[in-house]
């Protein structure tokens, strides 16, 4: 087995590359530096040569401010181009890392991810496996999770004490392990799976777990979630606030039952490793 990883220099790609190296699996990285801009004209053939498996990560990860046409060009048409050339060159299997938002799309990003899944499923010469992770965290995380890390590290008071939501998360090392399982397992062909660390948690539980890992106090106070959402909307941060107040729990029982997959890293271990990375980054910047 020789694996091509697109988007190999990204957050998930780096963790997957390390997992492939640890297993001694031959693999090749495809990045914008090697294949150019991702889209309907991308030539993947040089990167695909000699590979019989592909993990496709090279998508736009955050849709905020990205024109819908650009989103579809990269996430849908770029995927279509990769899949077509992979089939022509005899690639056996493509594992596509989609998003939990593809299950019931409510924005352009979710729609594009769902469309990309359909593009792959329409190519009969390929075995395709789709993974739909929820929020992914771990060393190298960015965006909203990194902002929450900073807030907890600085012991800022957070108005989240009365939030009673349930959200699924997955540590990037667990996601990488699930990808490896999907590359290998014959029974995964044609399947779509959600993948998580386990039981969903509330936002206050997440804040407390981060505080423990960072060695800080979790400073939570009560503000009605609806009022918090209203204030967030008025400040132009409505979507970000709803990620903290609303639920998004998914069921990963199928991948556990069908592929006998279990996350190798416990939730607390994932938190600890994420905190160690974050604190190391802070020390590096202060030198």
Asked if 96 is an active-site residue, the reply is no
The residue annotated as part of the active site, out of 96, 109, 137, 278, is 109
Phi, psi dihedrals of residue 117, rounded to the nearest 5°: -60, -40
Query: Annotated active-site positions, please?
Result: 109
């Amino acid at each position: 087995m020789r694996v091509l990883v697109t988007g190999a220099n990204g957050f998930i790609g780096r963790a997957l590359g390390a997992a492939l190296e640890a297993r001694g699996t031959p693999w090749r990285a495809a990045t914008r530096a090697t294949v150019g801009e991702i889209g309907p004209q991308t030539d993947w053939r040089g990167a695909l040569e000699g590979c019989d498996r592909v993990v496709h990560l090279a998508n736009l990860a955050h849709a905020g401010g990205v024109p819908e046409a650009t989103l579809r060009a990269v996430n849908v048409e770029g995927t279509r181009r990769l899949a077509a050339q992979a089939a022509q060159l005899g690639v056996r299997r493509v594992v596509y890392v989609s998003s939990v938002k593809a299950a019931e799309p409510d924005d352009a990003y979710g729609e594009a991810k769902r469309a990309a899944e359909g593009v792959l499923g329409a190519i009969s010469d390929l075995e395709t496996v789709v993974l739909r992770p929820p929020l992914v965290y771990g060393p190298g995380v960015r965006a909203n999770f990194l902002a929450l890390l900073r807030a907890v590290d600085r012991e800022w008071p957070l108005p989240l004490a009365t939030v009673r939501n349930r959200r699924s998360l997955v540590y990037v090392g667990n996601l990488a392990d699930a990808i490896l399982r999907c590359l290998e397992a014959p029974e995964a062909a044609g399947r779509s799976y959600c993948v998580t660390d386990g039981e969903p948690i509330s936002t206050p539980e997440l804040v407390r777990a981060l505080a423990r890992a960072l060695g800080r106090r979790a400073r939570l106070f009560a503000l009605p979630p609806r009022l918090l959402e209203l204030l967030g909307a008025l400040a132009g941060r409505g979507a970000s606030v709803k990620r903290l107040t609303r639920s998004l729990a998914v069921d990963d029982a199928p991948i556990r039952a069908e592929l006998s997959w279990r996350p190798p890293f416990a939730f607390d271990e994932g938190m600890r490793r994420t905190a160690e990375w974050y604190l190391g980054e802070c020390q590096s910047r202060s030198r």
